[in-house]
Amino acid sequence: MKRRECLAALQPVRRGEQESATRHGDRSTTSQQVKPFADPAAVVFPDAVLDALMPACDPYEWKIVCAVLRHQHEKKLSVGDFMRWTGMEHRKTCFDALTRCLGKGYLVRSPVGNSFTYRPNAALELPAPRSDRNRR
């Protein structure tokens, strides 16, 4: 790849230029590429989420936590929504991961009509991770 092509690939996509994904069943399709790190208006992960919570989660739980962080301001969330956002293909796998996240206290659930909303548990406390500097 030429230097000019490399530099062009690093340029952010302006909001008006990026097509939104269209959903077909459980998969999303787009006619353009997405640059996931280009837009600074994004979910910000505190260091503790990455340093303490991520290693404590299994991969399915981590996907659920990330989906909740991304969509926490939506009024209703369903297992089908989580399946679409995380790429999990089986309802039971997704439901079980969501149930584990609730059971371990990573998330809290509140009823909204005949559905639920999910939020990160602000009261969650985990052991502090060992510093990489102390391992040497």
Of 1-15, 43-57, 84-98, the range with the lowest mean pLDDT is 1-15
Q: Smallest Cα–Cα separation from 118: which of 83, 84, 72, 82?
A: 72
* pLDDT at position 39: 66
Where in the chain is CATH 1.10.10.10? 47-120
Q: Which fold has domain 47-120?
A: Arc Repressor Mutant, subunit A (1.10.10)
Segment 90-134, tens digit of pLDDT: 999 999 999 999 999 999 999 998 889 999 999 999 988 877 554
Is 63 or 72 the better-scoring residue by pLDDT? 63
